[in-house]
């Protein structure tokens, strides 16, 4: 299940998330952020909080963490 999502309607391609968290976000050819690694880390949460359009959604529901 996807934990991190970028709302393509909201993303303005500013690149802030990719700068904060280059392992997780990449700006694609459409100049929109894309999730390249679906793992929620503190940097991902920070990137979501700093996104100017709140385009990054994180599923907080806990699954088994083994």
Q: What does the binding site for ligand SF4 look like in residue numbers (CB under 6 A)?
A: 6, 11-17, 25, 33, 51-53, 55-56
- What is d(CA 35, CA 18) in angstroms, rounded to the nearest whole number? 9
Q: Which is nearer to ligand SF4, 41 or 53 (CB)?
A: 53
Shortest spacing between CB 35 and ligand SF4, in angstroms? 10
Of 9 and 65, nearer to ligand SF4 (C-beta) is 9
Q: What is the nearest approach in angstroms of ligand SF4 to the Cβ of residue 61?
A: 21
User: What tokens were used for 24?
Assistant: 């997780």
Distance CA 54, CA 10 (A): 7
């Amino acid at each position: 299940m996807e934990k991190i999502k970028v709302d393509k309607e909201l993303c303005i391609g500013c690149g802030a998330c990719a700068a904060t968290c280059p392992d997780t976000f990449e700006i694609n050819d459409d100049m929109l952020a894309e999730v390249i690694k679906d793992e929620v880390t503190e940097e991902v949460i920070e990137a979501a909080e700093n996104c100017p359009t709140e385009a990054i959604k994180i599923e907080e529901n806990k699954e088994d963490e083994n």
